[in-house]
A = this chain, B = another copy of it.
């Protein structure tokens, strides 16, 4: 890639970005689009526009961490700690509003200036050894700045987590533990009696009651069917009411065919049909609920305690002498509990985990093989042979050019698009009990995939060292090289980063795609209020794919920070811009789908260090190739990184894995409503008719309420 094409691509990206930002400013002001640009605010019952005339940038910058936590949860706040750590511009907001942080930011500013100086100075040095010395010092400098930032961030996140857990608001998951691997029921006892007597015996004073995990497959299916019919009924009624309103006095009663996709079968009156179906399903659901609660007990249970300390302590303690029975962990939030994974047994989980690791390793290393085979079969020639009727089209010059360019990558593109979902599926197959944990696991796998394939695949195996050489050959014209002919790979990655932050964040901010989809849906598909709401309800931030993407950028920035220092401003811009735009999105758009109280962080931390070590090893290799006399000293850096990782792990990690008792010791003044805590864990399919409360008392509480609390 030559310099002009690089600049062209950069300029194009930038123009697209500006257009998207302007689009955002224009579109977001239209009241009809408020549900697309401010869904989070609307869902919380706020006016989308109460910031008055302040620009979105101003609002994002002046928002505090506490705002983010209260609006979007601790996990989102932790993600911002990550972004600001990565961009090095820690606490942008507090820098502006709070003078006390100025010294720290000053330090960072100095750190960047020093970094630039070191790197640029070497370009003017004439003696090769001097330049290598500059390289050498820069590697140390970058490493220590990274250690410092990571340490500060880990400490900060740990405090965030402690604060969130200390909060006196009753969170149901803080009063419960998840017990798996319950041994088979002894003769003459029910599962319920077994579980209750076991915990009653160990915790006579703090045990409240237990909820057996049941096999909800059938009941869930009926429930979803029922909900589906209810939605369809509302829709049919809305269409009917609409047709009445638009003139016809009687209205047209909507009809549909009962067969496949509504295309075949008998035509029926929709409202009647759905009503009939619903009336059929309700008793079926009720009886299935009863039989599920009575009979379909699995070997897992949720156990509730009367205090947070008791639950936190129980989640960390070994209960049974047989370690693989009665295993307890802290209960995940009700909304992120993966019910179907709870029955998987101790050693089965271990086996599944390793099987999944092997599959992932095979995927990472050999994914090109099946893709290559598919590509080989989908050449133009083969297409013409297999699908002769396309011959006419394929012989057109323009079509051929486009297809020749994209066809070989088609399989790869499909593969890359499906990969995150595939990895999430694999992670859930490990037997992980909570959604957030599964997302973390999938995100970790994706990180290794992207670093190993995208980064190492393109760089180290390819031409990283050749770029080193080209600078080496003409040291005098180093600045020229940097400016005019940026090393091939570096240019590739610079374009990549620029594309990602200009176009990626531009699309993110402008929400063009969701906007179009929403308007199409509202115009042509949605008939009821509920359907309209479904059309705009936003998702979560999606850490699973976002973080590995960011990690790849960090790896690129670190590894090129010395050899192609132009990457540094690009990296800072990526994370700075990301911080700004995602802050806006977090405050106004996305609604988190779960809360893990910052458990995300240790995961991010370890992978940043992995990227750092990759950088240090690469530089060690480079200086070794250059026969720099002192390069063996660089071997101390990866070791230092490992020690740093070890110390951080020892000092912080366990507080993320377990709940420290001191942070939950401050019980809220009023006694929590434990009944409500208990009920919040009942899945909706088992909680259908609120009026029918006795049923749970019957079935769930055969021996319950044995706790001293009631």
Which of A's residues lie within 8 Å of B, judged by CB?
Answer: 158-159, 161-162, 198, 201-203, 205, 309, 312-314, 316-324, 326, 346-347, 350, 647, 650-655, 658-663, 665-666
Contacts and interface: CB of A to CB of B under 8 A. Distances in A.
Given A317-B313, A321-B158, A647-B347, A326 B202 contact: no
A655 B318 contact: yes
Contacts of A665: 201-202
Q: So how many copies of this chain end up in the complex?
A: 2
Most chain B beta carbons < 10 A, residue from A324, A651, A661: A661
A279 to B, nearest CB: 49
B158 A650 contact: no
A316 B161 CA distance: 21
A658 B651 CA distance: 21
A278 B347 CA distance: 65
Contacts of A205: 205
| From A205, A647, A658, A665, residue with most partner B Cβ within 10 Å | A665
B350 A660 contact: no
Nearest to A660: B321
Given A316-B318, A658-B318, A347 B202 contact: no
B321 A662 contact: yes
Given A201-B665, A202-B662, A316-B316, A650 B321 contact: no
Given A202-B309, A205-B205, A314-B313, A662 B323 contact: no
Given A314-B313, A347-B650, A647-B347, A661 B319 contact: yes
A662 B162 contact: no
Contacts of A316: 316-318
Most buried by B among A161, A162, A312, A662: A662
Contacts of A326: 662
A322 B320 CA distance: 28
A317 B317 contact: yes
Given A316-B316, A347-B647, A347-B650, A663 B202 contact: no
Contact of A662 (B320, B647, B650, B652): B320
Contacts of A159: 321
Given A323-B651, A347-B647, A347-B650, 17 more contacts: A158-B322, A202-B665, A203-B309, A312-B317, A319-B661, A319-B662, A320-B655, A320-B660, A321-B655, A321-B660, A321-B662, A321-B663, A323-B653, A323-B655, A326-B662, A347-B651, A350-B650
B318 A654 contact: yes
A608 B477 CA distance: 65
Contacts of A317: 312-313, 316-317, 658, 661
A162 B317 CA distance: 16
A323 B652 CA distance: 6
A219 to B, nearest CB: 33
B322 A655 contact: yes
Nearest to A314: B313
A198 B660 CA distance: 13
A648 to B, nearest CB: 10
A101 to B, nearest CB: 22
